[in-house]
Amino acid sequence: MRDYYTLKVNLPAGIVSPGALQLVLKLAYDAKVRTVRFGARQQLLMTVHYEDMRFFEKELKQHQIKYEINTEQFPNIISSYCGEEVFRTGAWLRESEYHTVLDQFDYQPRLKVNLSDANQSFTPFFTGNLNFIASPEPHFWFLYIRPKQRNTLFRWPELVYTNDIGRLAKTLEQAMLDQAIQEEEALYNAVTTAQPFVTQPASQDVELPDFSLPYYEGFNRYGQRSWLGLYRRDEQFSIAFLLDVCALCLKTRVGELCTTPWKSLIIKGIEEKDRAAWSHILGKHNINVRHAANELAWQTEDYTTDGTQLKSYVMRYFEKNDTRTFGLCFGVQTQPKSEVFGSVLIRQRPVFRVGKLALFSVYDLYYTDNFNPNSRTYHLFERGLLKIHVPAQIERLCRKFSARRLIRNDEPLDSKVDQPEVDVHERPKVHQCSHCFTVYDSQFGEPLRGVSNGVSFALLSNDFTCPTCDAPKEDFFEIEMAELT
């Protein structure tokens, strides 16, 4: 008998109310669980000792909380809801639209369902079996299908109406799993003859946006409120901390918590008057929110620590060599049937096995088409690497990516012939936050910090902080206006 079990509670679309999360966490704490983590499909995961499992299960059933133990029969619905409002895209999709879709799922899907805004790159598009992606036509969605245990992907011939997503997903699941229909034409005929759906012709494929992972940690302002992103280096959140988070959400009327595919937590709708209370909780539990952006751009598997250990090993090399990784994200795959999201993929494979025990492992390095993590095509870069050689080869791949970006973005030489030269000393300069890239321009000052226009950066007080993420003054760097991106 194993000593510990992994228990999973699905959080549909990565959304959970503070009260619901608080209940699960209290039951877990009573079962002697002290830390939890969030999975790549935005679910809640925890490790429970077998002696406490019977009591824990009884309590979960009594409160009608659905869960799984060491299985993935019901994969969580994931969505880009966590980025709505805070990472604005300008599209028609809003938070209310996600709730409209979720209300239709009166069953637990056995297939992986993804709901995505087409204009974001914070959450993956195609890691599901049924991938619904918002189209340019309001209230209609693309559907891309990836049958289980296959890497093939095909587009549904029609755009799907918002109010039909749940019903179509259920019909597709019955056809694909119960009737074993996998081929594109046969699946379409079986589903459309079973019942009608509101659709529009899909005349083109979805246009994938260039990948750019927004900085999702710390305090950040949007409108008159703030959102708080929480990331843990070891992916573990203490229950004591999360219970304080839930209690403060209930006290300040924050109605939802959002988990992300990056195994982090986003809290939206924080009023300015409550910022001090949130800072107090972070200090009370010694929570750091100033990690480097390249450390946040990793996705590892849910049920193994090998990926997080390799990530830490590579990150030490990156820090030592000041490796530029902007525009990339990294996935670590240590189990053959798992799936991670990344423009650079590190696959661990054993050279020798004795039963299920891997005695010696090497690493293969891949990158996706155009380094877009949503691409399903991987290209081999290096094969059979020893662990000691992995970081340097990843750095080579990062340089390859940067070189491609330079070639793609370079303008023709004659495009500047008629433009007057500017003396380097006359080029206007500003100061930019190294964490969230907020710009301080002395021409405009910073009203949110009580700084009037015309005040140079050098004259700002030493306790000046970034108005967006609260980074200290010393974390700003000088940059020419022309170099801002």
pLDDT digits (tens, 9 = 90+) for 329-354: 999 999 887 889 999 999 999 887 77
CA-based Rg of the chain, rounded to a whole angstrom? 24
Tell me how far apart the alpha carbons of residues 385 and 390 are, in angstroms, rounded to a whole number.
6
What is residue 412's predicted lDDT score, i.e. its pLDDT? Answer: 46
Mean pLDDT of 20-46: 97
> Domain 218-293 is of which CATH architecture?
Alpha-Beta Complex (3.90)
Residues 6+ positions from 190 with CB-CB distance below 8 Å: 175, 179, 181
Residues 6+ positions from 413 with CB-CB distance below 8 Å: none
Mean pLDDT of 420-449: 69
Q: What is the pLDDT of residues 474-483, one digit of tens each?
A: 888 888 765 5
Mark 302-316 as b/e (b = at least 16 C-beta within 10 Å).
Answer: beeebbbebbeebbe
3-state secondary structure of 54: helix
Q: What is the pLDDT of residues 114-151, one digit of tens each?
A: 999 999 989 999 999 999 999 999 999 999 999 987 77
The highest-level CATH class for domain 88-201 is: alpha beta
Q: Model pTM?
A: 0.83
Residues 6+ positions from 14 with CB-CB distance below 8 Å: 42, 76, 78, 79, 81, 82, 258, 259, 260, 261
- Segment among 24-38, 74-88, 439-453 with least mean pLDDT: 439-453
Q: What is the pLDDT of residues 156-165, one digit of tens each?
A: 999 999 999 9
What is residue 445's predicted lDDT score, i.e. its pLDDT? Answer: 83
The residues of the chain that CATH labels 3.90.480.10 are: 218-293
35 contacts 236 by C-beta, under 8 angstroms: yes
- Segment among 134-148, 262-276, 381-395, 444-458 with least mean pLDDT: 444-458
Strand partners, 134: 141
What is the token pair recorded at 131? 């991938």
Place of tokens 């019955």: 174
> Domain 424-483 is of which CATH architecture?
Single Sheet (2.20)
What is the token pair recorded at 369? 């088409």
The residues of the chain that CATH labels 2.20.28.10 are: 424-483
Q: What is the pLDDT of residues 270-292, one digit of tens each?
A: 999 999 999 999 999 999 988 98
Mean pLDDT of 80-99: 89
What is residue 415's predicted lDDT score, i.e. its pLDDT? Answer: 37
The residues of the chain that CATH labels 3.30.413.10 are: 88-201
